[in-house]
């Protein structure tokens, strides 16, 4: 399969010139079987799974066979998504010979982006995201927190509703111009949700195990910070955009602090995509299971060229599209 896909790649002179942003998904993009096909078809992707099994024994079997509730557990889902996303990315690179101009990841996906750029090695990212998942789950007792997606509401109105909710209620994710996620104490999120519904917004409670990206996550941030500081970092082979900055990380030594801040601060995804557009990105490729980020790109940057790459068939389809536009 690898030879067959590689045979689709023409000489560089025949390829269109593209400025690619590699995008990596966060939680709730997972599925049983994710990454399995690409790991079987490409040696470089298979190596990702071998490393994953060495670092976190049993995780690749859980990814392949489930059960889904166990894979969904935050401590399993986070490193599993890193493994599946990095496997898809490395297979795509092997098949196309292309290198992104930039990378960005949504929340957890920032770890995958840093692996892709060479800043974090895969084994370190797997260990960190396993611990990140454990600490985030432990930070808030079950039933205390909540999250909700708010659709079709002005950001200023959302901020006002959170501020007057009578408890911790904060903006967690700015996902698209018409989709913002709020997070915090269950009662405060319910109060803010009622206020927003009264203002004409559509509010959807989210099925989550903890209230992510809000100040209730401070215990997880504090406990993960020493591990982030101890991580060995390499130089970036291409720039990565930070969730909390919505801009390029200019100094690799800032990465640990930015990843720590990310646990309690908002994911500024709309601004991140807009910044990528300003930087000259013309093609967006989401690596990993699901098409959440593909949808968010299409809603934020109408008319953008965007792909999802998760399977060998996706890579083949990408190559064919590149050939058609050559």
Confidence of residue 17 (pLDDT cuts 50, 70, 90): low
* Sheet with 240-242, side-by-side order of all strands: 247-248, 240-242, 102-105, 20-24, 283-287, 305-309
Dist. CA 110–CA 324, nearest whole Å: 31
Overall domain count for the chain: 2
Is 244 a domain residue? yes
Q: Please tell me whether residues 178 and 107 are part of one structural domain.
A: no
Is 34 a domain residue? yes
Q: Please tell me whether residues 252 and 121 are part of one structural domain.
A: yes
Q: Which CATH number fits the domain that encloses residue 188? A: 3.30.70.250
Helix/strand/coil for 198: helix
Q: Please tell me whether residues 156 and 269 are part of one structural domain.
A: no
Active-site residue, from 29, 85, 106, 107: 107
213 is catalytic: yes
Count of Cβ atoms closer than 10 Å to residue 99 Cβ: 11
pLDDT tens digits, 299-326: 999 999 999 999 999 999 999 888 877 6
Has residue 33 got a pLDDT over 70? yes
Q: Please tell me whether residues 134 and 231 are part of one structural domain.
A: yes
Confidence of residue 2 (pLDDT cuts 50, 70, 90): very low
Q: Please tell me whether residues 134 and 149 are part of one structural domain.
A: no
Biggest alpha carbon distance in the chain? 61
Per the structure, the complete domain to which residue 112 belongs is given by 17-140+215-324
User: What is the per-residue pLDDT for 16?
Assistant: 53
Taking CA atoms, 322 is separated from 16, 210, 305, in Å, by 7, 41, 11
Is 272 a domain residue? yes
User: What is the per-residue pLDDT for 326?
Assistant: 63
Q: Please tell me whether residues 132 and 248 are part of one structural domain.
A: yes
Is 190 a domain residue? yes
Q: Please tell me whether residues 24 and 103 are part of one structural domain.
A: yes
Q: Please tell me whether residues 156 and 105 are part of one structural domain.
A: no
Is 7 a domain residue? no
Could you tell me which residues come within 8 angstroms of residue 50 by beta carbon, excluding any fewer than 6 positions away?
Answer: none
Q: Please tell me whether residues 239 and 266 are part of one structural domain.
A: yes
107 is catalytic: yes
Active-site residue, from 213, 242, 266, 310: 213
Closest CA to 183 of 154, 133, 218: 218
pLDDT tens digits, 45-89: 999 999 999 999 999 999 999 999 999 999 999 999 999 999 999
User: What is the per-residue pLDDT for 9?
Assistant: 37
Q: Please tell me whether residues 34 and 106 are part of one structural domain.
A: yes
């Amino acid at each position: 399969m690898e030879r067959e896909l590689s045979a689709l790649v023409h000489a560089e002179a025949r390829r269109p010139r593209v400025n690619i942003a590699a995008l990596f998904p966060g939680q709730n993009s997972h599925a049983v079987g994710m990454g399995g096909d690409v790991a079987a078809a490409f040696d470089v992707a298979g190596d990702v799974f071998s490393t994953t099994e060495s670092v976190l024994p049993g995780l690749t079997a859980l990814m392949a066979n489930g059960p889904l509730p166990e894979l969904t557990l935050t401590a399993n889902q986070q490193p599993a998504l890193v493994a599946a996303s990095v496997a898809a990315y490395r297979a795509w690179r092997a098949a196309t010979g292309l290198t992104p101009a930039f990378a960005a990841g949504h929340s957890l996906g920032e770890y995958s982006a840093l692996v892709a750029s060479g800043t974090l090695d895969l084994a370190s990212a797997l260990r960190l995201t396993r611990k990140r998942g454990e600490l985030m789950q432990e930070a808030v007792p079950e039933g205390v927190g909540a999250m909700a997606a708010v659709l079709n509401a002005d950001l200023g109105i959302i901020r006002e509703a959170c501020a007057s909710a009578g408890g911790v209620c904060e903006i967690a994710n700015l996902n698209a111009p018409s989709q913002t996620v709020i997070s915090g104490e269950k009662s405060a999120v319910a109060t803010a949700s009622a206020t927003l519904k009264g203002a004409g917004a559509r509010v959807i409670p989210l099925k989550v195990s903890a209230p992510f990206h809000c100040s209730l996550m401070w215990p997880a941030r504090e406990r993960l910070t020493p591990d982030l500081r101890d991580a060995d970092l390499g130089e970036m082979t291409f720039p990565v955009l930070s969730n909390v900055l919505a801009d390029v990380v200019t100094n690799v030594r800032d990465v640990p602090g930015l990843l720590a801040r990310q646990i309690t601060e908002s994911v500024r995804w709309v601004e991140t995509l807009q910044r990528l557009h300003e930087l000259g990105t013309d093609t967006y490729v989401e690596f990993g299971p699901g098409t959440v980020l593909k949808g968010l790109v299409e809603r934020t940057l109408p008319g953008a060229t965007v792909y999802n790459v998760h399977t060998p068939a996706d890579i083949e389809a990408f190559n064919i599209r590149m050939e058609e536009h050559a």
